[in-house]
Amino acid sequence: MVTTHCDVCKKKVDDPFTGRTFFYFSKYNVCEPCRDGLDAQLRNHARGKDPFSFEWFGKLTKDMLEKGVQKGKI
């Protein structure tokens, strides 16, 4: 059995299935609940952003992940 860890909440994920129960963002491993939290926050931020740019969005994603990793949650 393969076990890996979420870099944000540090929970372990058994038999990670990339893209379904486990995700990679830049250099971080992210579990499903953390990805959902990240998604929700990104949506909130992106809503008020005009004009939208993918460069900005990519940086925002990375910043949020780094903060999440430090805090242990998204």
Query: Taking the complex as a whole, how short is the minimal distance between the CB of residue 49 and Zn ion, in angstroms?
Result: 25
Only one of the segments 18-26, 29-37, 47-55, 64-72 lies at the binding site for Zn ion (rule: CB under 5 A); that segment is 29-37
The reply on whether position 8 binds Zn ion by CB under 5 A is yes
CA 29/CA 46 separation, integer angstroms: 23
38 binds Zn ion (CB under 5 A): no
C-alpha distances out from residue 10 to 5, 39, 50, Å:
6, 18, 34
Which residues are at the interface with Zn ion (CB under 5 A)?
A: 6, 8-9, 31, 34
